[in-house]
């Protein structure tokens, strides 16, 4: 993992934290982000979005789907949990090359929320491998 990729993991973690500051439903925000054109842009080899900060990225997402999608109630996870989820999702992309929508399909909101306490102290590679294994086991 190079320095730029690790910086992108951090930015995505801070983006997820910012959703809590705005009182957005965590499940709605995570799903919308991971399947959004913004996430697709971040998945590409090079895109100008990769140089944007978390505030700009959040504004892009909200302008695409509207503020009301995230504000209809729903639990708001702690910033620690949100940061970890955002960080791991981006790390997963760099580690495996999979796109954000495919990653979300394998590890949706509930999976990430349920496994935070177990996986947040692991090396990111191990967390990704274990999350992938959970998905495979549930498919069978």
Round to whole Å and give the CA distance between 48 and 41: 8
pLDDT in tens, 69-121: 677 678 999 999 999 999 999 999 999 999 999 999 999 999 999 999 999 99
Round to whole Å and give the CA distance between 97 and 106: 14
Residue 13 pLDDT class (50, 70, 90 cuts): very high
**How many CB atoms are located within 10 Å of the residue 12 CB?**
25
Question: pLDDT higher for 56 or 79?
Answer: 79
Residue 125 pLDDT class (50, 70, 90 cuts): very high
Q: Which of 61, 54, 135, 63 is nearest to 98 (CA)?
A: 135
Domain ranges of the chain: 3-139
Residue 65 pLDDT class (50, 70, 90 cuts): confident
Residue 25 pLDDT class (50, 70, 90 cuts): very high
Compute the average pLDDT of residues 49-70: 77
* Cβ atoms of 36 and 64 closer than 8 Å: yes
**pTM for this entry:** 0.91
């Amino acid at each position: 993992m190079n320095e730029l990729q690790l910086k992108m993991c951090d930015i995505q973690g801070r983006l997820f934290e910012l959703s809590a500051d705005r009182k957005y439903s965590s499940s709605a925000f995570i799903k919308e982000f991971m399947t959004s054109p913004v996430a697709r842009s971040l998945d590409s080899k090079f895109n100008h979005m990769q140089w944007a900060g978390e505030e700009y990225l959040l504004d892009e997402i909200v302008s695409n789907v509207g503020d009301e999608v995230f504000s209809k109630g729903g639990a708001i996870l702690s910033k620690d949990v949100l940061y970890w989820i955002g960080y791991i999702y981006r790390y997963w992309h760099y580690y495996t090359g999979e796109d954000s929508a495919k990653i979300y399909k394998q590890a949706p909101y509930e999976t990430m929320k349920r496994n935070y306490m177990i996986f947040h102290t692991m090396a990111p590679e191990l967390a990704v491998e274990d999350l992938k294994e959970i998905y495979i086991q549930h498919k069978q």
